[in-house]
Structure 1
Amino acid sequence: MNTIFQFMKRHYKVLLLVVLASIGLWSFIPKSTSSGDPEKDKLLLELLTFVIEKGHYHPAAIDDKLSKGIYTDYIKALDPSKRFFLQSDIDEFAKYETLIDDEILDKDLTFFDLTYTRLMKRMEESKEYYKDALSEPFNYTVNEEINTDYDKLPYAKNVDELKEKWRKQVKLSALSTLVENQKMQEDLQKDKGKSVSEKLQEYKKKMGTKLTPELEKKFLDNLEKTKNDLPKSYEELEKSSRESTLKSLNEYFGVIKDLDREDWFSVFINSIASQFDPHTSYFPAEEKERFDVSMSGKLEGIGARLQKKNDYTEISELISGGPAWRGKQLEAGDIVLKVAQGDKEPVDVVGMRLDDVVKKIKGPKGTEVRLTVKKTDGSIKVITIIRDEVEIEETYAKSSIVEKGGMKYGVIYLPKFYIDFENKDKRDAAKDIALEIERLKAENVQGLVFDVRDNGGGSLKTVVDIAGLFIDKGPIVQVKSANGAVEPLPDMDPRIQWDGPLVIMVNEFSASASEILAAAMQDYKRAVIIGSKQTYGKGTVQNIIDFNQFVRGSNVGDLGALKTTIQKFYRINGGSTQLEGVSSDVVMPDRYAYLKMGEKDTENAMPWDKIDALNYTTWSKTNNFDLAIANSKMRILNNSQFKLIDDNAKWIDARNKENVYSLQLEKFKQHQKSLEDANKKFKVLANYTNDLKFRSLPYEEELMQKDPALKLKREDWHESLSKDIYVEEAVHVLNDLNKGGSKELTSKVKKEQIKS
């Protein structure tokens, strides 16, 4: 989940206290450190405990209880599926279960060094286990099974037991691939008489979305390559399934190989930080940089996403509008072999860590980078790119227009409450939302749907500014500090950007700043909140504290930063959103309704509490507010599609609790078939269309004429909106807010209310 922040000035006292007290830390700064240097790790431990003690909202005591929590979380993080450590290792580690707190205070790395060294040894040994298991055909007639509920399973008592664990795990993976390949081959034989266009249409339908030209070309190329293929024998398919599993595991261990001691120490540090609350965490230097990019939506570089494939770095995607995209020479699928800075000699990056390759390719705006790449046709090409500022379009707000019953409405989707903390003149969500509202008003829309589903939060200032677009003046949220002081954060601007009907869409992944917006609009009765039973339930405020500020002038290297909880926020009615989230005015069934994924399901979450309410005046300009909610509830109650979604959610919950799988081919196939049969009735959910037509605003239609990638993204979004029953219901609510709903439905609602 993304976090929400106050600007530095809001808690300068906390920071000042930390900085002043940090003078005592200088005696612990090592003279010189390098990656993986124990002295640097000791300094990190010192800084972590010091900053948490001075800056955390409610720091826990560093005692045996904390030590036990760290021990449990850390060991689980190192070996979640219990495929590396032996029980003898755990017995040896367990001696430190109540000693970690003492080691932290003494800056003693004995426990970490022991577990890190042992993990590296066990991982190296494990490579032989899976390779041996996959070297010979599996016997799928043996009646055996595997339990994947790793939390409840014991560690292996000896190497033979551990090898058996690996054998069963890779057998399950290979079996799953084998059954899938057998089914694919059967389908290919059935499709022999079909034309290429028929096959393409079926593939598009199966994918459930508009295909990119690249995916369509790949599908057609694959058809061409396989059109004369003869059916493969069982032996060939079985061998292929093992080779596929081997390749996946080799790639996994290739990624693991890229991690160094410093990366694993970050795991240990975060096992300590998470004991204070789920949102206190350590950011190593690279992670901090990625976080900043995610918050601002901007970076300086070439505008390409990279991924690791064995020892190679592959271009996975070009960011629309970026310098690589504009240059039209670099393509998705290209393999980066060398990187050169300007006119300097190129550096071979084959086998290099992905993070290190990224560092070499990224750089300041206006500088030159030369990439030696292997193209998909096998040719080698040197591509020169001038770095520039890249905007990650998916980060930003976007809007669409939809018409229903002669009424025109706007839909605004906000993926996060972004802001550039370094430059207030750059884009931020509040400015962009205000602009989108003005553009929608110019199109004479009569209602707004504001979609913050899956929005994990962002800037606190930004959400206050956005909420202020919909009301006159008044408080938006209350913030409580560790000393008990409560500060209301008000909208001081009397201007109302939008005073018409408003619906806010949320789900169980709407968190933090999303919950502040939904809660404020609900308390003011300014908007109808529709979505999941409740939002995520994160009612805390975090701040980023850069560790490097405490060691300026030393050559210690980049120490990263700590994201730590410094405040809690409360609704203007006094209630907290912590754990309980925001309850929707209209609850709509969704696929994940019964799974445990909220703040209340996390370890060490802070408790719910309440403070005094503020004085505020509820909105009085919305007609038919209660009636629109009642009508919506009745529609959902009588909607067969929503009933099916709820049935699907229950089915997913039941499936999520299944942990035992047969490793016998026929039994596995029978189980898969029973799942397919049970799931058949839910397949119609993917084919649902709401008959609403969505279109971009005029300014964006002009942009799309010059940017085919943007055009494709918007077409995909509009297609997904046209299949979205939740957006459809939001539009219905806007209709009711505008018209008052049908008399027939209103009558039904009144009867239902009388019954209840």
Structure 2
Amino acid sequence: MKRNLKILLLAVFVAAASCSFTTKSFDDPDKDKLLIDLITYVLEKGHYNPKDMDDAFSEGVYEDFIEALDPLKRYFLASDIESFEAYRTDIDDQLKAKDLTFFNLVFETYQKRMNDAKGFYKEVLAAPFDYNASESINVDYDQLAYAGSKKELKERWRQQLKFSTIGNYYDLVEENDTKTEEEDGYERKTEASLEEKARTTTLNSLDEYFDFTDDLERKDYFAIFLNNIVEEFDPHTNYLAPPDRDRFDLRMSGKLEGIGARLQKNNDNIKVVEVISGGPAWRGEHIEVGDIITKVKQEDEEEPISIVGMRLDDAVQLIKGPKGTSVTLTIKAVDGSIKEETIVRDVVELEETYAKSTLIEKEEKKFGLINLPQFYFDMQNYTERNAAKDVKNEIVRLKEEGMEGLVLDLRGNGGGSLQTAVDIAGLFIEQGPVVQVASNGRRKEVLEDKDKSIVWDGPLVILVNELSASASEILAAAMQDYKRGVIIGSKQSYGKGTVQNLIDLNQWLRKNDLGDMGTLKITTQKFYRVNGGSTQLEGVKSDVVMADRYSYIDIGERDYDNPLPYDKISPAEYEAWDGYIDYEATIEKSKERMAKSDQLRLIEENALWIKKQRDETIVPLNFAEYKRQLEERQQETKKFDAIDTYDNQLSYNSLPYEMEMMRQDTTLREKRKRWHKNLAKDIYVEEAVNVLEDLKLNNIRNGKMAKVKD
């Protein structure tokens, strides 16, 4: 793939040089126009599947940019949208002409409406809310029409602010009741004082929010516009403005100071998409994937700041901070409950992103489990520590302890180095193709395992879920196509079958007086299984499907806008593994067990319940009804407590080399203790061990393969 990227860079460099991209090439040496010229050119020449910049493209940019600026429809008026409509199908033509009329009109209108809103929220929050009134708010903003007048818009702000404040009010009332009951001498607060305090909290949050927006410059909004343009090509092609590239490099460096969570903007919400193993949030079990962070309070501040509707970068700036400082987050959990979590920030330890293993004992038998959070490697030197080397080492150590079957846990593994995925596949097969890679306009490339040695030739199970993506899917798909291992997990994995590369836009400029132009992360290639099918959108379908809490939540590639399509190419020539004598029968036996599992039925019921809660878009603004619904929801969740108290009756032990390390490293000891505790509640691991027990080896195979032809 590096060779393909070099070809791309050379081609673009030659073309760019011939076009003389210099600041003197334009009558108006405006940086925005230069950026548009650079980005559209690189997209056209370098993207795997370049899109026609036509009227349909224009409509996509139009809708996405307006939604990006005003997702809650609390700024623009219907008359504003009407004035924008004239440009709905003209943006493509404007881009080709380096005309910024549409962007300028929307940006300038947005600034005016932001100023109007500053008056709205202060006026609304100056008067008490009537929580006895029978009213509700619809939070399905996609279905909401734009306000027809400033009067209607102000009423929308009133409802939205009441919605933001009723949660504060509920918390204060609950605290007041608890202290009255439990603390001698506590002076009970009046409802009026609590209501006023709740409004003040919301007012302070909005003040902070508009302080942030006041600091934003035109270039920040233009970067949003550029991202709406490039994301029309596919969801993983992004423009990284200089500060964003700095943050990207910081993440890649492996050292961050903060809570140890990756966040994503979802409409007006800041959602947790990953909890980094070993980080402070992970150590304290504070948050989980799918949680929504609604408020942030610093240790030296009395009131929290609402981050609902805030830009992701701004929210991250509030949440992260120096090692040793604390931050209190108000969290709406996946199950709908509201809680506060105080987290002491720390340097996020990335050691937990490396492969780790445990020895599982069931009666007299021993099995190995290797958890691989990502396919890591040293970007400067592949021969240094990488995922393939570590997995190999763990297999060797587990074999020394007498393991009879291996579970490779790829749940939540978002991918990484493709070469490490190929190398890990080679640990389980004699040799052969592992993945096919297609580049635009060039012949497909087949990446193969050429090492005839097999490190593990025994029973193999691979665990996946909806968050297993990219390289995880390549490895799981290869093992499935070879019939080398049984795939257990979600109905399908994430479905990301594309490759991205970073292109520094500054390299095309002979002379540049306009500053750093940023970076384009661009999709350049596509993965295909050895059987010819793409992992794009389809992901990998598990041999044995087991529901989990993410089963009905939209988190896969198919849930993005503009994903590249699924397609097929010709299969590679490969030879299926002939080491099992009961491969299909074992899968059927596992399916039968799962159909009878009460625990799995409860997990399925919980997943459906979570979807139901997320689909409810009408929220009461009457306090009695709001309280009734919230407490009813909390009561309903109690029946799912059994999910977390499940015991799979398996024992877990660290390997001798880790036991030795733990004598000196109490943090590592605590991490492994926590991990083993979670594994003991894991029905997916339990079933993986059952499958390993059922898989019977063909003792006369001796590496025998059944040939699969094109």
Bin the TM-score by the shorter chain: 0.7 to 0.9
Q: Determine the structure 1 residue equivalent to 2:197.
A: 240
Distance 2:325 2:17 in 1: 52
3-state secondary structure, aligned to 2:164: helix
User: What's the CA shift string for 1:465-507, capped at 9, x where partnerless?
Assistant: 2221221110001112212522211111122222222111111
Q: Determine the structure 1 residue equivalent to 2:4.
A: 10
Distance 1:553 1:393 in 2: 43
2:260–2:279 CA contact under 8 A, matched in 1: no
Counterpart AA for 1:663: L
Larger CA deviation: 463-472 vs 255-264:
255-264
Q: Determine the structure 1 residue equivalent to 2:355.
A: 397
1:59–1:276 CA contact under 8 A, matched in 2: yes
1:691–1:722 CA contact under 8 A, matched in 2: yes
From the superposition, tell whether residues 321 and 96 of structure 1 become closer, same or farther in structure 2 (CA, over 3 Å). Answer: closer
Q: Determine the structure 1 residue equivalent to 2:81.
A: 90
Q: Determine the structure 2 residue equivalent to 1:499.
A: 457
1:649-728 matches, within 5 Å, as 649-728=607-686
Q: Which of the numbers 410, 416, 422 marks the counterpart of 1:464?
A: 422
From the superposition, tell whether residues 270 and 69 of structure 1 become closer, same or farther in structure 2 (CA, over 3 Å). Answer: same
Counterpart AA for 1:161: E
From the superposition, tell whether residues 429 and 97 of structure 1 become closer, same or farther in structure 2 (CA, over 3 Å). Answer: same
Matched, 1:146 2:146: no
Distance 1:120 1:692 in 2: 60
Matched, 1:416 2:369: no
3-state secondary structure, aligned to 1:535: coil
User: What's the CA shift string for 1:61-118, capped at 9, x where partnerless?
Assistant: 1122111110011111111111122222222222221221122112222222222233
Q: Determine the structure 2 residue equivalent to 1:22.
A: 16
Matched, 1:100 2:94: no
User: What's the CA shift string for 1:693-719, capped at 9, x where partnerless?
Assistant: 333333334444444444333333222
Distance 1:450 1:693 in 2: 17
User: What's the CA shift string for 1:501-557, capped at 9, x where partnerless?
Assistant: 211111112111111111000001111101111112222222222212212664443
From the superposition, tell whether residues 415 and 297 of structure 1 become closer, same or farther in structure 2 (CA, over 3 Å). Answer: farther
Q: Determine the structure 2 residue equivalent to 1:550.
A: 508
Distance 2:323 2:629 in 1: 49
Distance 2:63 2:123 in 1: 31
Q: Which of the numbers 525, 528, 535 marks the counterpart of 1:577?
A: 535
From the superposition, tell whether residues 102 and 739 of structure 1 become closer, same or farther in structure 2 (CA, over 3 Å). Answer: closer
3-state secondary structure, aligned to 1:617: strand
Please report how far the alpha carbon of residue 374 of structure 1 lies from its aligned counterpart in structure 2 after TM superposition. 9.0
Listed as ranges, the gaps of 5+ residues in structure 2 are 264-274, 281-296, 302-312, 328-346, 699-710
3-state secondary structure, aligned to 2:51: coil
1:717-756 matches, within 5 Å, as 717-737=675-695
Please report how far the alpha carbon of residue 675 of structure 1 lies from its aligned counterpart in structure 2 after TM superposition. 2.8
Distance 2:590 2:424 in 1: 26
2:358–2:370 CA contact under 8 A, matched in 1: yes
2:435–2:529 CA contact under 8 A, matched in 1: yes
Q: Determine the structure 2 residue equivalent to 1:383.
A: none
Distance 1:307 1:278 in 2: 18
Please report how far the alpha carbon of residue 435 of structure 1 lies from its aligned counterpart in structure 2 after TM superposition. 2.6
3-state secondary structure, aligned to 1:618: strand
Please report how far the alpha carbon of residue 372 of structure 1 lies from its aligned counterpart in structure 2 after TM superposition. 13
Matched, 1:81 2:34: no
1:448-597 matches, within 5 Å, as 448-483=406-441, 485-551=443-509, 554-597=512-555
2:78–2:146 CA contact under 8 A, matched in 1: yes
Distance 1:697 1:253 in 2: 54
2:422–2:448 CA contact under 8 A, matched in 1: yes
Counterpart AA for 1:291: F
From the superposition, tell whether residues 658 and 468 of structure 1 become closer, same or farther in structure 2 (CA, over 3 Å). Answer: same
Matched, 1:39 2:30: yes
TM (norm. structure 1) is 0.77
Q: Which of the numbers 38, 53, 67 marks the counterpart of 2:44?
A: 53
Q: Determine the structure 2 residue equivalent to 1:195.
A: none
1:166-245 matches, within 5 Å, as 166-186=157-177, 192=182, 229-245=186-202
Distance 2:470 2:373 in 1: 13
Q: Determine the structure 1 residue equivalent to 2:337.
A: none
Distance 1:356 1:669 in 2: 32
Distance 1:293 1:722 in 2: 35
Counterpart AA for 1:282: Y
Counterpart AA for 2:20: W
Q: Determine the structure 1 residue equivalent to 2:218.
A: 261
1:623-638 matches, within 5 Å, as 624-638=582-596
2:180–2:187 CA contact under 8 A, matched in 1: no
1:216-365 matches, within 5 Å, as 229-294=186-251, 296=252, 298-299=254-255
2:278–2:352 CA contact under 8 A, matched in 1: no
Please report how far the alpha carbon of residue 47 of structure 1 lies from its aligned counterpart in structure 2 after TM superposition. 1.2
TM (norm. structure 2) is 0.82
From the superposition, tell whether residues 606 and 185 of structure 1 become closer, same or farther in structure 2 (CA, over 3 Å). Answer: same
Distance 1:76 1:52 in 2: 23
User: What's the CA shift string for 1:317-340, capped at 9, x where partnerless?
Assistant: 999899xxxxxxxxx97889xxxx
Distance 2:185 2:696 in 1: 61
1:334–1:373 CA contact under 8 A, matched in 2: no
Distance 1:124 1:79 in 2: 14
Counterpart AA for 2:9: L
Q: Which of the numbers 137, 157, 170 marks the counterpart of 2:128?
A: 137
Please report how far the alpha carbon of residue 49 of structure 1 lies from its aligned counterpart in structure 2 after TM superposition. 0.5
- Taking only the aligned residue pairs, the percentage that are identical comes to 48
Distance 1:428 1:30 in 2: 46
Counterpart AA for 1:698: P
Q: Determine the structure 1 residue equivalent to 2:568.
A: 610
Distance 1:276 1:420 in 2: 30
Distance 2:99 2:634 in 1: 54
Larger CA deviation: 508-517 vs 410-419:
410-419
Please report how far the alpha carbon of residue 268 of structure 1 lies from its aligned counterpart in structure 2 after TM superposition. 0.7
1:307–1:354 CA contact under 8 A, matched in 2: no
Distance 1:730 1:428 in 2: 26
2:662–2:668 CA contact under 8 A, matched in 1: yes
2:367–2:404 CA contact under 8 A, matched in 1: yes
3-state secondary structure, aligned to 2:475: helix
User: What's the CA shift string for 1:668-698, capped at 9, x where partnerless?
Assistant: 2232344334433223323333333333333
3-state secondary structure, aligned to 1:14: helix
User: What's the CA shift string for 1:373-404, capped at 9, x where partnerless?
Assistant: 9999xxxxxxxxxxxx9962343322223222
User: What's the CA shift string for 1:421-446, capped at 9, x where partnerless?
Assistant: 23334432222222332333333322
Please report how far the alpha carbon of residue 636 of structure 1 lies from its aligned counterpart in structure 2 after TM superposition. 1.0
Listed as ranges, the gaps of 5+ residues in structure 1 are 1-5, 193-225, 309-316, 323-331, 337-351, 362-370, 377-388, 741-756
1:464–1:490 CA contact under 8 A, matched in 2: yes
User: What's the CA shift string for 1:174-193, capped at 9, x where partnerless?
Assistant: 22332344345555666x4x
Counterpart AA for 1:612: S
3-state secondary structure, aligned to 1:584: coil
Distance 1:248 1:302 in 2: 24
Distance 2:359 2:591 in 1: 25
1:303–1:319 CA contact under 8 A, matched in 2: no
Counterpart AA for 1:695: N
2:586–2:695 CA contact under 8 A, matched in 1: yes
1:536–1:599 CA contact under 8 A, matched in 2: yes
Distance 2:74 2:668 in 1: 44
How many residue pairs align between the two structures?
Answer: 640
From the superposition, tell whether residues 698 and 42 of structure 1 become closer, same or farther in structure 2 (CA, over 3 Å). Answer: farther
Matched, 1:619 2:577: yes
Distance 1:307 1:532 in 2: 22
Counterpart AA for 1:569: F
Distance 1:261 1:229 in 2: 51
